[in-house]
Structure 1
Amino acid sequence: MVKKQQQTEISIPDLLKEVTPGFGIEGPLGGQYLHFNGEWVWSDNGEVGCIVFRPDSIPELYGSVDGKRLAHFISRAPKPDKIQFRLREKEDAKSKKRSPWLLVKSGRASVDLKWLEDSPARMPDNPGRWKSVPNGFAKAIGFVAHCCASHITRPLLTCVHVTNEYVESSDGMRIIRHDLEDTLKGVDTLIPRNVAFLLESTGITKIAPKDDAVWFKTKKGTMIFCPLIAGDYPNLDPLIATSPDAKKFSLPFEVESKDGTIKLEDALDRAGVFEGGEEELSIVLELKEGRMSIEAEDEVGQYKERISLKDAPSDLSLRVQIYAQHLLDLVKQGQKVECELTSDKMWMRTDKWEFLSVIEIPDE
């Protein structure tokens, strides 16, 4: 493990925020527990685990406690900068036996939590060697994670595939591949979709693949690990390769209105009312005779908007589904996107990523 003096002291409320992603219904003791292992405080829900250095304000402890109740109390502590931990013995009201309890106080408020001294949870050993990740790595994996499959029936497709030069994902109908700013030598691993979103929000500086898990280190020094999913990710190269017979064209992402040119971002914002739950918001784009139709729907409603494209090919006719986050990135670039089209596929390319989707040709 890394020496403690190399790390910045973390406050107790911030510590609980760092380990909260590791709470859940799976993992050691059901996943809702917070574990103390001397110099370390950690959580693990079976899908992701978080390890943080113990701050000096918490005494050296060995055991486990209900992490969700502890986090709930600390997030509402009347004096968050003055929180005290004390392990003591207390008589159980039912069994009348004395057992260890963790008393946590803040001002006049306190919470007593049953302490599991002989916890079966065992903190995994972290890797000995770390690799620095390229700039923009966390953003890239979060970006392509929107294209991962959300159903566990195809477990490999619920992951982001990390390689030496790029990260990629696919839901079986669409593929997205994002280049890395620098090569990441010796790395070929999978990151579950939800973990990729977590890493995007926390920001990571280092990666360390192991035989059974992949580890990450954040800017705050928190270590995050997730078990590897068995199997090899499908080779997407033959699928993402363009056809020599494909029709090439540029697609503008500005639209014309009576009041002048407007940003397509406004239309996407209006479609966002259908975003929610576990499913990604996907947008259906229908291009026909220089006009674009944007559609979004769920089980209770549908949004549709028709707009005129600026300088769009008038002979272009297609219907394609793209995830809102990827379309929004195209819009924010405010430039034409190079595209290629066959009878059943469409490619979009920017200077950082490329996207492939199955398409439909609308009826004339």
Structure 2
Amino acid sequence: MFIFPRRLASTAALVGLVSLGLTACGGTTKDSAQQGADPKASAAAPASADPNAPIKEGLKIAFLPKQINNPYETIVDKAGIEAAKEYKGEAKEVGPSDASASSQVSYINTLIQQRQDAILIAANDANAVCGPLKQAMSKGIKIVAYDSDAAKDCRNLFINQADSEEIGRSQVKMLADMIDSKGEIAILSATANATNQNAWIDFMKDELTKPEYKDMKLVKVAYGDDDDQKSFQETQGLLQAYPDLKGIISPTTVGISAAARYISGSKYKGKITLTGLGTPNQMREFVKDGTVQQFALWNPKDLGYLASYSAAALASGQITGAEGEKFTAGKLGEYTIGKDGEVILGAPFVFKADNIDEFDF
């Protein structure tokens, strides 16, 4: 079983989390500093961090989720907005209603025109957003990817909810424990281009090559596009196409809840083992009715909070995104930037019947 790392909030602090959203930020420091400057020249110049620099007041930051109506990302983004109030910044959430590869591009362009100090993005496609993100960086706007990474040369930092390898391998281990490491399994993912999903799935596939899983077979990776109805239908399709299926891993909050809803009202309840990544409030009824034994997640509120503070640290010059730099993320404490500008929130936590009522988010 996983436990929350030191930096994550305690169980008591987690209770009471609710779905949250981002508010608009406004600041003037960047505008005046860049008047008459060559944006591309300034972006190319080597930057130096001043860890003692104060966070600037009035920073404007914007969260751009995969899609605006994703319940999980609403929690993340609203927490980031609340964090901005702590350092006297202004934050907002904008984004598309669908999670297609190019749907975020027009929003990035608008945020550039609005002269945001930082854009925080959960990328639907690592490369599709790269051009406009580079344009934003050339104008001095800091780019923080969170949840799902953008290409490394198109952002300053990536706030990773947990180590990708740990997530992928732990999902296989959790399912294997519940099905005695035997039988056909499937994966119900989000979109085919989602960076985080693909990284996790690659590690799942690699984990399955180990001798202890020789009696488990991955028969299909299906994509629900982080759409509730499509994920519901994909679950139905998997169970009809593979009558010997024993388990499904759905590492997406939309997918796992849609799959659980289908299974709970079908003849497959009690016969198919479902696990993945979900929020306690989404999954509580399915754990209590026996559809799902256990699933995992991190604290999405802490993810948004950390992302918000990292953007403020970047925009204030405390950090540049270089490996080894440190910054303080409010109540979460100090974090160190790792390789390729990655900051890891912490390890995932396993939710099950005996602990799920301790959490409310």
What TM-score do you get using the length of structure 1 for normalisation? 0.22
Q: Which has a greater percent of helix?
A: 2
What TM-score do you get using the length of structure 2 for normalisation? 0.22
Find the structure with the greater CA-based Rg: 1
Q: Which has a greater percent of strand?
A: 1
